[in-house]
Amino acid sequence: MRSTFALLFLAAAAALVACGGGGSGSLPATNHPSSGSVGPSAALTLHFPAPSTASGARSPKYLSSSTTSVTITITAVNGAPPNPTVPPTTIAVVPGQGSCTAVVNGGFSCTATVGAVAGNDTFLIQAYDSSGALLSSGSITVAVNPTGTTTVTTPLVLGGVTASTALVEPSPGPQSDGSALTTAGTWVPPADGTARTLTVSIVAKDASGNMIVGPLATPIPIALTDPSGGTLSDTISPSANASGTTIVAVPATVTLKYSGAAFYTAASPAPGTLALGSGSGATTVAIAPLQATSSISLANATVGIPFTVTATEANATTLTFTATAASSGGTFEAACPGALPPTTGATTLSCSTTSGSVAFNVAPTGLGTGGSLAISDANGVDVKQPFDVTPQSGGGINVPPHTVADYTVFTTSPTGLGDELLGLSAGPNGTHIYFTEGAIGGIGSFAPSACIPGSPTSCGIVSSSIAGYSSPFPLYVTAANGALMFDDDNSNAIYSASCSGTSCTATPVGGSIPQPGPFVASSFGLVNFELVGTPQVLQPIGSAWNALNGVLSNLSQATIGFSGEPTATGTLSGTGDPGLESVLPPSSGSIVLPTDFKTLTYCTNTSQHSTDTGTIVLDGLALGSDGNLWVVESDRRYIAAISPGNCILGEYPLPTITGTPPSFFTEHYTVIAGPDGNLWVTDPANNSIDRVTTSGAATAFAIPTAAADPFDIIVGPDGNLWFTEAATLKIGEVVLQ
Q: What is the CATH number of the domain that holds 441?
A: 2.130.10.10
Q: Is 399 inside any structural domain?
A: no
Q: Is 501 inside any structural domain?
A: yes
Q: Which residues contact 328 (CB under 8 A, 6 or more apart)?
A: 366, 367, 368, 369, 370
| Range of the structural domain that residue 260 is part of | 164-287
Q: Is 421 inside any structural domain?
A: yes
Same domain, 511 and 370: no
Q: Is 59 inside any structural domain?
A: yes
Same domain, 601 and 642: yes
Q: Answer yes or no: are the C-beta atoms of 289 and 263 closer than 8 Å.
A: yes
Same domain, 155 and 168: no
- Rounded CA Rg of the chain: 39
Q: Answer yes or no: are the C-beta atoms of 720 and 735 closer than 8 Å.
A: yes
Same domain, 357 and 417: no
Taking the chain (737 residues) in consecutive chunks of 10 residues, what is each chunk's mean pLDDT?
40 31 34 39 61 43 73 90 86 74 67 78 88 88 75 69 84 89 89 90 86 83 86 87 84 88 79 86 88 74 66 83 60 63 57 73 56 81 76 44 86 66 89 90 89 81 86 90 87 88 86 87 83 78 74 81 84 73 66 50 60 67 92 88 83 88 70 92 94 91 91 91 92 87
Q: What is the pLDDT of residue 690?
A: 95
Question: Which residue among 160, 186, 206 closes a domain?
Answer: 160
CA dist 201 to 44, 252, 281, Å?
39, 6, 16
Same domain, 275 and 347: no
Q: Is 667 inside any structural domain?
A: yes
Q: What is the pLDDT of residue 348?
A: 59
Same domain, 449 and 354: no
Q: Is 726 inside any structural domain?
A: yes
Question: Which residue among 363, 390, 417 closes a domain?
Answer: 390
Q: What is the pLDDT of residue 510?
A: 84
> How many distinct structural domains can be found in the chain?
4
Q: Is 408 inside any structural domain?
A: yes
Q: Is 668 inside any structural domain?
A: yes
Whether residue 364 has a cis bond before it, omega within 30° of 0: no
Same domain, 433 and 479: yes
Q: What is the pLDDT of residue 602?
A: 74
For 502, half-sphere exposure in the C-beta direction (CA atoms, 13 angstrom radius) is: 1
Same domain, 447 and 548: yes
Q: Answer yes or no: are the C-beta atoms of 276 and 294 closer than 8 Å.
A: no
Distance of alpha carbon 611 from its chain centroid, rounded? Answer: 21
